[in-house]
Structure formats: structure tokens, C-alpha cells
Amino acid sequence: MSLLLLIVQTLNGLQLGVLLFLIAAGLTLVFGVMDFINLAHGVQYMLGAYLAVMFYTLTGSFLAALVLALLASLAFGLLLEFAVFRHLYERDHLEQVIATFGIILFLNEGVKVAWGASPLSLPVPDAFSGSVVLMPGLLYPVWRIVIIAAGLALAALLYVLVTWTRAGMLVRAGASNARMVSVLGVNIRRLFMIVFGFGTMLAGFAGIMIAPILSVQPGMGDTVLILAFVVIVIGGIGSIRGAFLAALLIGLVDTLGRSFSVDILRLVMAPSPARTVGPAIASMLIYLLMALVLFFRPAGLFPAKGRG
Amino acid sequence: MTDAALNAAPRRLLARRAGLWRPLALFAVLLVLPVVFGAQADYALSLIERVMIFAIAALGLDLIVGFGGLVSFGQAAFIGLGAYAAGILAFHGFGDTLLALPAALALSALFAAATGAICLRTKGVYFIMITLAFGQMAFFIASSLAPYGGDDGLTLRARSTILGFAPLADERVFYYVTCAGLLGIYLLCRALIGSRFGRVLRGAKENPTRMAALGYEVFRYQLVAYVIAGAIGGLAGFLLANATNFVSPAYMSWQRSGELIVMVMLGGIGTLDGAIIGAAAYILGSEYLSQLTEHWAMLFGPFLVLVVLFARGGLIGLAARLRRGAR
């Protein structure tokens, strides 16, 4: 367990954290404002990655692919909202879960039909390929740093939008009491479309940015979706600040747990059982964390004001 | 009773007032199917066994979701626990039903009691997520059981014996045992819902504050219901391990929990009959579609969306509306 490894894994955890934040931000706002559980948020992330690969093969430029994939993600998200989701807002959570689960099934299979079942990959843009020496003996891939920076910048932008603008104020008010906001004469449907479109683009952006690191394949959104739900529940539904802190926490706990659980267990038990128990405990850690948080704070760490 | 009065009644009471023709028809079909299939039909029999096993688990889920308002997203964990209890005991040579079945029920009930006491502190979406969290923990524990196959799962050499004899090895006997299990659980759930306990549970779903004001300790009733649903899941797991002669962490994946919720919703939530119909529709439907095309999910996904958008109350609700429309 060297210091260098610790730093590298902390950076990796940070990178996973900002990625989760990009996905969780849209999820928590949609959930907070419209009380709508959107399981299909994870497939938006997958779709972002696929669209990026497709536009990259068409144009040969990462920047063009990024812009086009973002626009296409937005268009697709709004199409889904128009065709299906807006008919579900008044329904109970269970019905929302089933309908959006159906959309997951459809899209996971749909990308298989459109782009094949085998994993695709996207090259890292030339300007950001390779690694950089952070300190003597510590090489770190530039692209991961770009992801961290972009994620933090977007988090700052979201913070400014939500705290300082009129739309942000309405979003916060909507998260506390959507009906009251509607009674006060705000077109909550339009507000929701904006929030939803924005959230979709953030999830798509996360997919695009991660595509050069992960393999792009059907079902890649499912794992991330569950992690994002863990994040918004720990953070408190409807709270951007909660989502940000919880995302970093989950990213770090998961990454560090996976790299060091075996070493830590070895201090207290024999190497061979430690090797089998370690990974299990590591995968369990974030759920353990969630159960603990909910035990002491049943509405998450930063519940939106006015909610339980 | 006329259909008009039936439709006017709240949907959750449908099961009690709709009379007996639907469950009678369902179980009559289940009883004659092996006769209809004839001699060489082990595949068809095992398919229906699957339907019945998941119907048992779905009944347990309907008990807490449909009547208690507790949406558990970790129900598959109990199936897995029951299956592992049977599998691990068989692995060590204790493959007798008299030992394995109580062990499966006890393990899943214990897990439900321990996690339920924590989960029930939360409400609504937080409840959904914390049950998911415990389900995932069970999943990862099972994946780490290296002596019992870890991720790959554990193959059972034979089905559970009964007092040393092996009647369950015969597919038909096992079929009817599973069917008897389903009938028993169905009757148990109906009795529970009609009882004072069930009324308190339903009252707590509608308005927990009022029930508390009436002097009922809501938490205790919900916990008991959660434990019963967990034990029912354990029974389903015991049967599933025997049906497939295989136990795997995949039984506990969150997708499985999601499928169980889909089954309950598809049939018609809070009706009990709906859990059985939904399990049959889901398993037979996906089996049928998967034989039509390998991309069956592209058909099944939109079908689910359509059910939610246009068939509120699931298949049972849809049938009731069609009857009303025909009149």
C-alpha cells in the first residue's frame, strides 16, 4: 500500500465521483422537482457513449462528435419526455419504475441491433492522449484529469445556475414543493422540460467523456444507474449539493475499497481468506454506507428544504 | 354481485369480492396441465414450475407492496437466501427437505427481520433504495462464497429428499408439490388479508398517522408482513434450487427484484390473483417472444410501457374494463 498508489487511486476515485455526479445531478433534479423516478436515466448515459462513437466514425473529430452527440442526446431525451414520460408524472412511483424499466429493456436491446453486441471503443483525442508526470514517479493519464476538470467545472456551473439564477431558484422551490410553485403561477411543465433536457445532456456528456476509457457496450448504463441512485439517496433527493458530496464520497469509497480491501484485511486475517472476502466487502461497501446513512438520516444527508 | 358494483369497489378489495371463479380456474388449469402435456413434456413442465415458483415469490411481494404499500426492491435476495440454504446444506450432505426447508425459511425470515427493522425507518423512495441496498449486499456475499462456487454458483447433485426417499426426482411429483406450495401460500395470503392483521396493514398503507392515532403500532405490523414476505421468498428459493438443481448469485441480482415487481404490476397490484397471472404472463411471454426473435426485449420493453400507459391495474384491471366496455 504505497503512497503513490494511494494518490493514483484517490484520483481515480475522484474521477468516478465526478462522473457519478454528472449522472446523479439530472436524476436528483428530475426526481426532486417532478417526483419522477426515471430508471431510463442510465441508458441516456449509454446512448451518449454510443452516439459519440457513431459521430466520431462519421466526422473523425472528437470535438464534432462531442457536440453532435450532446445535441442528439438532448433531442432523444426530449423525444422520450414527449412520447412517454409526461404521461407518467401523475402516476405513482411503481408505475414509473415499470414504464422506465421497459424503456431500459428496449434501448439496451436497441443499441445491440443498431451497433452490434460487441463492445466498441473511442480513441482518446490526440491533444489529451498519453500521461503526465504529476510528481516524480507518478504518471497519470491526461484524459482522466480532463474528466475530473470538466466534471468539477460543470459542478461549479450548476452551483451558480441553481443558487444565483431565477430558473435555479424555481428549481429549488420545485424540489421543496412543486405544487406550491405551480399555484404561484409558474409553468412547472416547462420548467421540468428544461430540467429534464439539461439532466439528459449531463448524463449524455458523462457517457461521451467516459467512452475513451471504458468499452462502450449494451447494459453499461445499468450499473451506473444503481450507483447514481445510491448517490442521490445518500445526498438527499433534490439536493445538488448533496448529490455532489455523495458522488465524491461514493467514488472514493468504492475505488479505494476495491484497491485496498485485501491489503487491509490481511492485517487481521490470513492471506487466502482475505483474497476471497476482500473483493466482496469492497463491492458491498457503498451499500453498507447507504444503509448506515439512511439508518441515522432517513432522508439522506442534505434533504431538500420542506421534505421529510 | 353485479360487475358494476364490483368496479365501484376499491381495487384492493377486488380479490375478496370477485369471488372464487378466477383462482379456481387458475388452479384447475395448473392441475390439468401435466395431463394435457402428456408423457414427454419435461421442458413444458419445468417452464410451468418456474411460473409457479415465481408466482409464490410475487405473492409475497404483493402482500407487502399491494396491501402494505411497502415497495421492496430487494425481494430477490430472499429467493437467493432460500436457494443457498438448500444448496449449501445439500453440498454438505444434508439434502433432506425436513432440514433444508425449515433452514431456508428461517434464514430468509431472519434476514427479513434484521433488515426490515432498519428499512422500515425510512419511507417512500428511500425505502425502495434501502431494500435495494440490502439486496445488493446479499448478492455480493453470495458472490464471495468461494467454497460454494462464488460467482459461478453451485450445482446440486440431486433434489432434496424427504425422510431419505427421493420422490421429488420425478418431474410430475415435483410439479404437484410446487403447485401445492403455491396453493398454500395463496390461501395463506388471502387469509392474512381478510384478517384483522391484514386490515391494519391496509389501513397503514392508506394513512399510517391515523392508524397510529387509533393505537396500532404500525411499525410492528409492517415488520411482521415484511418477515412473512421474506419467508415466502425463501420458500420460492428452496423450490427454485430444487427445480434447477443449481444455485447462483444471479438469483439475487437487482434485475430479478425488478422482474418480480413487474410481475406483480403486470397482473394487477393488490389482487393476489394478479401476482400469479403476472408471473405467468411475464415468464411465458418472454419465453414466447424469445423464440420469435433474439431481440425479444425490443418488443417486451414497449409492451411494459403500453401496459402502464393504457392498462392501469394490470391485466386484471384491463379485463375488468373490457368487460365493462362490452356491456
Q: Report the alpha-carbon distance of residue A75 to residue A255 in Å, rounded.
A: 34
Encode pLDDT of B193-206 as tens digits: 999 999 999 999 99
Mean pLDDT of A120-143: 86
Is the pLDDT score of B7 beyond 70? no
Q: Please, what's the largest Cα pairwise distance for chain A?
A: 66
- Helix/strand/coil percentages in chain A, nearest 5: 75, 5, 20
Residues 69-98 of B with CB under 8 A from A: 71
Q: What is the pTM of this model?
A: 0.85
CB atoms A102 and B130 under 8 Å: no
Judged by CB atoms closer than 8 Å, whether chains meet at A93 and B297 is answered as: no
B305 burial type by CB count under 10 A (0-12 exposed, 13-18 middle, 19+ buried) = buried
- Which residues of chain B neighbour A283 with C-beta distances below 8 Å? 140, 143
Cβ neighbours of A84 in B, within 8 Å: 305, 309
Over the stretch A24-42, which tens digit does the pLDDT of each residue have?
A: 998 988 887 778 888 899 9
Which residue of B130, B301, B309 is in closest CB contact with A106? B301
Length of chain A measured in residues: 308
Give how far B143 is from chain A: nearest CA, Å: 7
Do residue B134 and residue A84 have CB atoms under 8 angstroms apart?
A: no
What is the model's pLDDT at position A279?
79
User: Quick one: pLDDT at residue B103?
Assistant: 95
B17 pLDDT tier (thresholds 50, 70, 90):
low
**Contact of B143 with B77, CB cutoff 8 Å:** no
DSSP B96: B
Statement: residue B1 has pLDDT above 50: no
Give the rounded percent of residues in chain A with a pLDDT score beyond 70: 98
> Higher pLDDT residue, A175 or A305?
A175
Residue B258 has pLDDT above 70, yes or no: yes
Asked if B129's CB is within 8 angstroms of A229's CB, the reply is yes
Q: What is the mean pLDDT of residues A160-188?
A: 85
Instruction: Give the tens place of pLDDT for each residue, B281-311.
Output: 999 998 998 888 888 888 888 988 988 888 7
- What pairing do the DSSP bridges indicate for beta strands B154-155 and B246-247? antiparallel
Residue B50's nearest CA partner among B294, B251, B273 is B251
B126/A298 CB distance under 8 A: yes
CB contact under 8 A, B140 and A284: yes
Mean pLDDT of chain A: 88
What is the Cα B180 distance to its own chain's centre?
15
Q: Is the pLDDT of residue A138 over 70?
A: yes
How high is the pLDDT of residue B15? Answer: 46
CA–CA separation, B35 and B111 (whole Å)? 39
Residue A189 Cα to chain centre, angstroms: 24
Domain ranges of chain A: 9-217
* Model pLDDT for residues B93-128, shown as the tens digit of each residue: 888 888 999 999 999 999 999 999 989 988 888 898
Interval B125-170: pLDDT, tens: 889 888 988 998 899 889 888 788 888 888 888 888 887 778 888 8
Cα distances (Å, whole numbers) of residue A217 to A107, A113, A180: 12, 12, 42
Question: How confident is residue B172, by pLDDT bands cut at 50, 70 and 90?
Answer: confident
Q: Write the single-letter amino acid at B138.
A: A
Select the highest-mean-pLDDT range: A3-12, B224-233, B258-267.
B224-233
User: Cell numbers 448506515 correspond to what residue?
Assistant: A292
Instruction: Answer yes or no: do A31 and B125 touch at CB < 8 A.
Output: yes
Q: What is the pLDDT of residue B124?
A: 82
Q: How far is B255 from chain A (nearest CA, A)?
A: 9
Mean pLDDT of A136-145: 87
Contact B301 A107 (CB under 8 A): yes
Contacts of A97 in chain B (CB under 8 A): 258, 261
Of A94, A237, A280, the CB nearest to B143: A280
Under an 8 A CB cutoff, do A102 and B304 touch? yes
Q: Is the pLDDT of residue A259 over 80?
A: yes
pLDDT of residue A103: 93
Q: Which residue in A has a C-alpha nearest to residue B72's C-alpha? A: A94
Tell me the C-alpha distance between B168 and B191, whole Å: 28
- Please give the CATH architecture assigned to the domain spanning B3-326: Orthogonal Bundle (1.10)
Cβ of A95 within 8 Å of Cβ of B308? The answer is: yes
Q: How confident is the model at residue B51 (pLDDT cuts 50, 70, 90)?
A: very high
Indicate if ipTM > 0.85: no
* A159/B143 Cα distance (integer angstroms): 40
DSSP string, A57-119: HHH--HHHHHHHHHHHHHHHHHHHHHHTGGGTTTS-HHHHHHHHHHHHHHHHHHHHHHH-SS-
Confidence category of residue B79, pLDDT binned at 50, 70, 90: very high
Considering only CB atoms, which chain B residues are within 8 Å of A287? 133-134, 136-137, 140
The answer to whether residue A129 scores a pLDDT higher than 90 is no
Helix (H) or strand (E) holding B254: helix B254-267
Indicate yes or no: CB of B126 within 8 angstroms of CB of A299: yes
Chain A residue numbers with beta carbons less than 8 Å from the beta carbon of B302 are: 102, 106
